[in-house]
Amino acid sequence: MSRIRPDLSDEPAVRLDGVSLTYERTGEVLSEIDLVLKQGSFTFLTGPSGAGKSSLLKLMYLAHAPTRGGIRLFGRQTYDLKRKQLAALRRRIGVVFQEFRLLDHLTAFENVALPLRVSGQKQDTYQNEVIDLLRWVGLGERVDTPTPSLSGGEQQRVAIARALINKPDLLIADEPTGNVDPEMGQKILRLFAELNKRVGTTILIATHDLELIREFDAPVLRLSNGFLVRDAEFGGAG
């Protein structure tokens, strides 16, 4: 796996100040959220279904804009960014979706390489890097396997590799263990922990799996009725 070196500074990776989000049909789903994720931190986000976890993550990876409040990523205020500036900021963020979002007609290699191919890079410039990344997530023997032939856990690891191929400074994972068995869930979380320790990538993982959280020594934030609170059961965020 290629080493990823975030440009560490005094600025947090993510800072939300008084952020609220309202949907036209359902009303306010997030209320006055204040949040700081330091660069190089590893944090869990939990809360019941419908608490707004996915909505909060979408704000962080710039899929939504807040109704009120401000968002800063790596020291940059996001509300007034031009299109090219926004695209450049998004390239510093990797996202792992619960439903994988892989393309069935592509192999594991082709799915991971897709962001690079779309950006115009030639295969000979990234082939070894993609293969190394697939080896790192334990899929060195499945490089040329079509996506439908992979197990759920293997597909999730392909999704993780795809999220990492652009060497993001921030990795956001939305219920990354929701579609795999507990043993594979532990393996996936260990991959994230290794990435954080070895490389320094800032990681935020949204999950409802409290048993899995208990196995990792990391701060836990909880969404409840649209508000973000420290989780007393796990000691809160540092």
Q: List all residues 6 or more positions away from 82 whose beta carbon is below 8 Å from its beta carbon.
A: none
Residues 59 and 173 in one domain: yes
Q: What is the mean pLDDT of residues 101-126?
A: 94
Name which of 137, 148, 227, 136 is nearest 184 in CA terms.
137
- Domain co-membership, 146 together with 179: no
Residue 233 pLDDT greater than 80, yes or no: no
Q: What is the pLDDT confidence band of residue 235, given thresholds at 50, 70 and 90?
A: very low
Residue 2 lies in a domain: no
| 133, pLDDT greater than 70 | yes
Q: For residue 117, is it within any domain? A: yes
**Mean pLDDT computed over 78-102:** 91
| Same domain, yes or no: 110 and 212 | no
pLDDT at 3 over 60: no
Least confident of 14-23, 30-39, 45-54, 125-134: 45-54
Residue type at position 11: E
- Residue 159 and residue 174 share a domain: no
Same domain membership, residue 173 and residue 160: no
Beta bridge partners of 46: 222
Higher pLDDT, 43 or 212: 43
Q: Could you tell me if 41 and 113 lie in one domain?
A: no
Distance from C-alpha of 160 to C-alpha of 222, rounded to nearest angstrom:
24
pLDDT (mean) for 49-64: 92
- Between these two residues, 212 and 66, which has the higher pLDDT value? 66
According to the model, what pLDDT value does residue 232 have? 52
- The reply to whether 211 and 187 lie within a common domain is yes
Mean pLDDT taken over the chain: 89
pLDDT for residue 146: 96
Secondary structure element (H or E) that encloses residue 182, with its range: helix 182-199
pLDDT grade, residue 7 (50/70/90)? low
Over residues 216-225, the pLDDT tens digits come to 889 999 998 8
Q: Using CB atoms within 10 A of its CB, is residue 137 exposed (0-12), middle (13-18) or buried (19+)?
A: buried
Neighbour tally for 215: CB within 10 Å? 13
Chain-centroid distance of CA 178 in Å reads 14
Do residues 108 and 147 both lie within one domain? yes
Domain membership of residue 172 (yes or no) is yes
What's the confidence (pLDDT) of residue 6?
A: 47
Domain stop point among 128, 149, 167 = 167
Token pair in block for residue 57: 């993550």
Give the residue among 181, 232, 186 at the shortest CA–CA distance from 205.
186
The string of pLDDT tens digits covering residues 164-190 is: 998 899 999 999 988 788 888 888 888
**Domain final residue, candidates 123, 149, 167:** 167
Q: Are 126 and 205 in contact (CB under 8 A)?
A: no
Confidence of residue 231 (pLDDT cuts 50, 70, 90): low
Domain membership flag for residue 1: no
Side-chain-facing half-sphere of 144: CA atoms under 13 Å: 0
Residue 159 lies in a domain: yes
CATH number at residue 210: 3.40.50.300
Residues 79 and 173 in one domain: yes
- For residues 98 and 48, give the distance between their C-alpha atoms in angstroms, rounded to a whole number: 16
- Residue 221: domain span: 8-92+168-238
pLDDT at residue 122, rounded to an integer: 93
Question: 175 and 134 in one domain?
Answer: no
Within a domain: residue 3?
A: no
Q: Do 84 and 105 belong together in one domain?
A: no
Distant-in-sequence, close-in-space partners of 117: CB < 8 Å, separation ≥ 6: 123
d(CA 72, CA 92): 13
The pLDDT of 134-156, averaged and rounded, is: 94
> What total of structural domains would you count in the chain?
2
> Residue 59: in which H helix or E strand, if any?
helix 53-60
Would 120 be classed as within a structural domain?
yes
Distances (CA, A) of 46 to 86, 171, 209: 28, 16, 8
* pLDDT for 237: 40
Question: Does the pLDDT value for residue 86 go beyond 60?
Answer: yes
pLDDT above 70: residue 135? yes
Same domain, 162 and 173: no
